[in-house]
């Protein structure tokens, strides 16, 4: 699709967007004492959802119980006195991520609308139908959910944050994820024609 006068505006230069993203990450280091993240918010929301429906079930599963314990610690100090504590301190690690991801939803939406890029629909190549594309997105999501929890983070919390902080695990994750991605890419090439 080519951008017309009233159509969607083209995307930013990747290096400009990347430096902007890097400054956001740096601001997070400076003002929150931590990096960005995404999968941890999924973990916390999923754990809270299970706990609301079946508390015993959630408590019996260590990965979910871990997120719930994180939240319980936060609830112990709902409004820590301001002043001494650094800005992000009263939020638990996963609570911080949930709030941050709510911000991502707002920021992403605002950016898309203001650039004329908010368009309801399904992004797909010509080689795949709508229902197949949605199934692929969901199946890929399942694999990423398991993979991110096993790896202790995703592209945001592990690759970007850990990459910039020179954590070995982040670089192992980057190499493994992109390596596997390129091995698997020919299998889905037809979908993106």
Partner 1 sequence: MSAAWLPAFVIGVAFGWALERGGMGDACKLAGQFQLRDLAVFKIMFSAVLTAMLGGFWLARVGWIDLNAVALPPTAPLAQLAGGALFGVGFVVAGLCPGTSCVAAVSGRFDGLAAVLGMGAGVLLFAEAWNGLEGLYGTDRYVTIPEALGLPYGLVVGLVTGAALVAFAAAERIEARRGRVVQP
* Touching partner 1, residues 5-64 (CB under 8 A): 7-12, 14-15, 17-36, 38-39, 42-43, 45-47, 49-50, 61-64
In contact, 121 and 100? CB cutoff 8 Å: no
Nearest residue (CB) to partner 1, 71 versus 160: 160
State the Cα–Cα distance between residues 69 and 92, nearest whole angstrom. 10
User: For residue 85, what are the CA distances in angstroms to 28, 32, 35, 88, 192?
Assistant: 16, 11, 18, 8, 49
Interface positions, 122-151, toward partner 1 (CB under 8 A): 122-125, 133-151
- What's the min distance (Å) between Cβ of 7 and partner 1? 8
Query: Is residue 82 part of the contact set for partner 1 (CB under 8 A)?
Result: yes
Extract the tokens encoding 151: 């790896």
Residue 19 CA to chain centroid, in angstroms?
A: 19
69 near partner 1 (CB under 8 A): no
Min dist CB 76 to partner 1, Å, is 14
Minimum distance between the CB of residue 160 and partner 1, rounded to whole angstroms?
6
Q: Which of residues 83-102 bind partner 1 (CB under 8 A)?
A: 85, 87-91, 93, 96-97, 99-102
Is 42 or 70 the residue whose CB approaches partner 1 more closely?
42
Maximum distance among all alpha carbons in the chain? 57
Residues 6+ apart with CB under 8 A from 150: none
């Amino acid at each position: 699709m080519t951008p017309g006068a009233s159509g969607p505006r083209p995307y930013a230069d990747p290096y400009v967007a990347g430096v902007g993203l890097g400054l956001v990450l740096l601001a997070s280091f400076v003002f929150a004492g931590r990096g960005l993240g995404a999968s941890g918010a999924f973990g916390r929301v999923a754990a809270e959802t299970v706990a609301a429906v079946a508390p015993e079930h959630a408590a019996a599963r260590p990965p979910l119980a871990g997120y719930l314990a994180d939240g319980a610690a936060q609830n112990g100090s709902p409004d820590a006195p301001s002043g001494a504590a650094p800005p992000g301190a009263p939020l638990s690690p996963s609570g911080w991520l949930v709030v941050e991801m709510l911000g991502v939803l707002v920021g992403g939406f605002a950016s898309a609308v203001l650039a004329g890029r908010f368009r309801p629909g399904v992004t797909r190549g010509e080689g795949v139908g709508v229902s197949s594309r949605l199934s692929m997105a969901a199946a890929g999501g399942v694999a990423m959910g398991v993979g991110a929890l096993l790896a202790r983070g995703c592209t945001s919390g592990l690759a970007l944050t850990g990459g910039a902080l020179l954590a070995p695990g982040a670089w192992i994750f980057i190499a493994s994820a992109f390596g596997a991605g390129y091995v698997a890419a020919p299998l889905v090439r037809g979908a993106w024609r």
